[in-house]
Amino acid sequence: MDCAIRPLKPEDFNAVASMVIDLYQKDGFSHLTPERFKKTVDELNAHPDKGEICVIEREQITVGYIILVNFWSNDATGNIVFLDEFYILPDHRNQGIGTWVLEYLRSRFQADNAGIMLETTPYNQRVIPLYKRFGFIPAENNFWQYMFRKTTYPQ
């Protein structure tokens, strides 16, 4: 498969921002705007140790993106790569790109990290079989959050 993952470039911003908005809208979230996504881009560019935004290409055409966030886990006694967002354009889904991306992430991060974590929304259950085939298992603990700023979540 002729795929590649590369860092987000300034000229990618509009295309990836539209994918970000599509991802959030499909899951019933309305709070993400290009301006808010720009804050994420700026933060990760200023602090690359926190993570990165990458473009997924197939045959040199942008077909998706991922956002990776790094953190240390005491429980895992190592660095965790959190796959914060993972999006492939609808016309390019079910063609093996998702599997290729997960294989890429495993080969890139396996030697120096304790693992990869991700989350799915209750509205995006179609990806569960892919993650299970790849070896992901549900976490034993529930993930909770306390937000200092109001974020609109679907009811």
Domains of the chain with CATH codes = 3-134 (3.40.630.30)
Confidence check: pLDDT of 103 > 50 = yes
Find all residues with CB under 8 Å of 66, minimum gap 6, and list them: 5, 53, 54, 56, 83, 85, 86, 87, 101, 105
Return the higher-pLDDT residue of 147 and 4: 4
Phi and psi of 61, rounded to 5°? -115, 135
Confidence check: pLDDT of 144 > 70 = yes
Mean pLDDT of 63-88: 96
- How would residue 152 be classed by pLDDT, with cut points 50, 70 and 90? low
Distance in angstroms (rounded) separating the CA atoms of residues 28 and 25: 5
Distance in angstroms (rounded) separating the CA atoms of residues 63 and 53: 14
Q: What is the pLDDT of residue 151?
A: 63
Confidence check: pLDDT of 7 > 80 = yes
Q: What pTM was estimated for this model as a whole? A: 0.91
Mean pLDDT of 81-99: 96
The mean predicted confidence, pLDDT, of the chain is: 91
Q: What is the pLDDT of residue 113?
A: 94
Confidence check: pLDDT of 89 > 50 = yes
Euclidean distance between the first and the last CA atom of the chain, given in angstroms as a whole number: 40
Q: What is the pLDDT of residue 155?
A: 44
- How would residue 86 be classed by pLDDT, with cut points 50, 70 and 90? very high
Q: What is the pLDDT of residue 118?
A: 94
Return the higher-pLDDT residue of 26 and 115: 115
Confidence check: pLDDT of 153 > 70 = no
The amino acid occupying position 75 is D
Confidence check: pLDDT of 83 > 60 = yes
